[in-house]
Amino acid sequence: MKKKSVFLLAHQDDEIGITKVILNELESNNEVICIFVTDGGKKSDVRNLESIYVLGKIGVNPNNIIFLGKELNFKDGILSKSYRVLKDWLSRYIRDNNSISTIYVPAYEGGHQDHDALHVAALNASDENGLIENVFQFPLYNRYGCRGPFFCVMKPLASNGKIIKINMTTKDRVQTLLYCLKYPSQLKTWIVLFPFFIFYYLLNSHQVIQKVDRKRIFQKPHNGILLYEYRKFYDWNSFQKDISN
């Protein structure tokens, strides 16, 4: 039986931060499962097709792409409100799929409240099933060390533990940048993000993962104002209340 590597993704396009890891898992002959956990908002159908396209180019079987958010009505932006339902679903999924060897989840970094909510749910669900040692996080964006509206892309927080670098060839880096252009429904978002990704891959020849750490979810991701707080999308106290219910 093939081992399963599960990639938990809050939004349709989060896969862009872990393309090389997905490819490595496929090349190791593992079965890759990608689960999108929020509904994608008003453009959900288009966003789903965009992610199916990109993941298909990497080599993921379309039958292994699950749009959980649409199925369970998990709304983009307020995933923490559905924390308990999500955690219980993930726990059952892990329990029912004993061939899961590794789980990847967005980092706990204060960038987007949905990323952090998914991180906490995945960590606790994995812990309930004795799989927490096989769960890894990958950074997308955060505001640590930045001023004003600025933020860092794919910069791991040192407080999240040892950094594991996944090496990329020049071809890998160029291909990932080209994938960034395959989300036209998110044009406004990518106009902002794309220059940061170009800059990142000019300076770095790797993607990054870190093991998860249960004690971290009882702490604020980092000191100061989190990115989602600065943008007035959500606030830390409300988030903490949601995941405590």
Nearest to 160 by CA among 102, 220, 81, 244: 220
> Alpha-carbon distance 239 to 245, whole Å?
10
What's the pLDDT score for residue 91?
A: 97
Count CB neighbours of 198 within 10 A.
14
Mean pLDDT, residues 151-175 taken together? 97
What does pLDDT average to over the chain?
96
What are the E-state strand segments in 130-223? 135-138, 141-142, 152-153, 164-167, 206-211
Q: How is residue 99 written in tokens?
A: 């061939």
pLDDT digits (tens, 9 = 90+) for 105-126: 999 999 999 999 999 999 999 9
Mean pLDDT, residues 55-64 taken together? 98
Report the amino acid identity of residue 197: F
Element (H, E) at 91: helix 83-96
DSSP letter at 244 equals H
pTM over 0.95: yes
Q: pLDDT-based confidence at 98, cuts 50/70/90?
A: confident
Asked if 118 and 105 touch (Cβ cutoff 8 Å), the reply is yes
Asked if 23 and 72 touch (Cβ cutoff 8 Å), the reply is no
Residues in the chain: 245
pLDDT digits (tens, 9 = 90+) for 177-191: 999 999 999 998 999
Asked if 99 and 90 touch (Cβ cutoff 8 Å), the reply is no
What's the pLDDT score for residue 144?
A: 97
CA atoms within 13 A on the CB side of 72: 20
> Alpha-carbon distance 209 to 162, whole Å?
9
Asked if 60 and 25 touch (Cβ cutoff 8 Å), the reply is no
pLDDT digits (tens, 9 = 90+) for 143-158: 999 998 899 999 999 9
Report the amino acid identity of residue 84: R
What's the pLDDT score for residue 83?
A: 97
What's the pLDDT score for residue 79?
A: 97
Residue position matching structure tokens 């989060």: 14
Mean pLDDT, residues 31-51 taken together? 95
Asked if 12 and 20 touch (Cβ cutoff 8 Å), the reply is no
Q: pLDDT-based confidence at 245, cuts 50/70/90?
A: confident
